[in-house]
Amino acid sequence: MSTYVYGITAATHPSLPEGTGGVGDPPRGVRILKEGDLAAVVSDAPEGLRPKRRELLAHQNVLSEVGAEGCVLPMRFGSVAPDDRAVTGVLAERAEHYAERLGALDGRVEYNVKATHVEEAVLHHVMAQNPEIRALAESNRQAGGGTYETKIQLGEMVAAAVKGKEAEDATTLERALEPTADAVSVGPESTGWLANVSFLVKREVADDFLEAVERARGEMPHLEVRVNGPLPPYSFVEPGPAEPAGTAAGGADAGAG
């Protein structure tokens, strides 16, 4: 039977409530595997596990239960090891790394921030800041729309200017939020978002971080800024603990959406 891994804690972490259920239908019972000073929160892995909403929530709920009592290194949804022995073997092999991460992440949560442009507002910015684009747009307007070539030229100029503005705004947003965070992790590029950044924040300054987000929104009204959190610190565990043991299910992100 494969073993599903939710997260890693200290061996002294308080026990979970009896009967805590995890992924699967019916939910698989959650248990603790200890190895030295570390412990893994696991259950049996159901066959055919898929990142459906019910399963993602079950994974998240287990981590919330564990995290309420102390630090946990969260695994992403779908982290599966061949068996219990493989899990404890990884705990022993990487004990120093996990102990360091538990210390570094104790009392901290993750906020994921994504941003995109408000299309009409950013086009206004681009036109206002680029006299060449304004001149060509005005020339095309006076010419009844312009030729095919000048329309293409204008479109390419606007697209390049918007792309440059995206990079500029992503950097500005990240720098505005960095001072209230202990660490920053830039996520993979995704369609539609000019910024996808996770911030590691002490619980006691979470309000300061959210206030910084609101200030950034006010200073950059041409951005739509989305905040997801507080989350377990998924982006700051890397390299993830299930990687050495291999994964048998999809690695969908249960947290920083």
Could you tell me which of 123, 122, 152, 126 has the C-alpha nearest to residue 140?
152
Residue 238 in tokens: 């890397």
CA dihedral sign, ordered 99, 101, 103, 108? negative
Element (H, E) at 87: helix 84-93
**Going along the chain, which residue ranges are E strands?**
3-10, 31-35, 38-44, 73-74, 80-81, 108-117, 183-186, 195-202, 223-231
What burial class does residue 192 get, using C-beta atoms within 10 Å of its C-beta: 0-12 exposed, 13-18 middle, 19+ buried?
exposed
In this prediction the pTM is 0.75
Residue 110 in tokens: 């993750």
pLDDT digits (tens, 9 = 90+) for 194-242: 899 999 999 999 999 999 999 999 998 889 999 998 888 988 987 443 3
With tokens 């992924």, the residue in question is 23
Domains of the chain by start residue, with CATH: 1-105 (no CATH), 108-229 (3.30.70)
Tens of pLDDT along the chain (257 residues) come to: 799 999 999 999 988 878 889 999 899 999 999 999 999 999 999 988 898 999 999 999 999 889 888 899 999 899 999 999 999 999 999 999 999 999 989 999 999 999 988 877 777 777 777 777 777 676 777 777 777 777 787 677 777 777 778 888 899 999 999 999 999 998 877 667 889 999 999 999 999 999 999 999 999 888 999 999 888 898 898 744 333 333 333 333 444 34
Could you tell me which of 189, 191, 201 has the C-alpha nearest to residue 229?
201
Q: What is the DSSP letter of 18?
A: T
Could you tell me which of 218, 216, 207, 237 has the C-alpha nearest to residue 113?
216
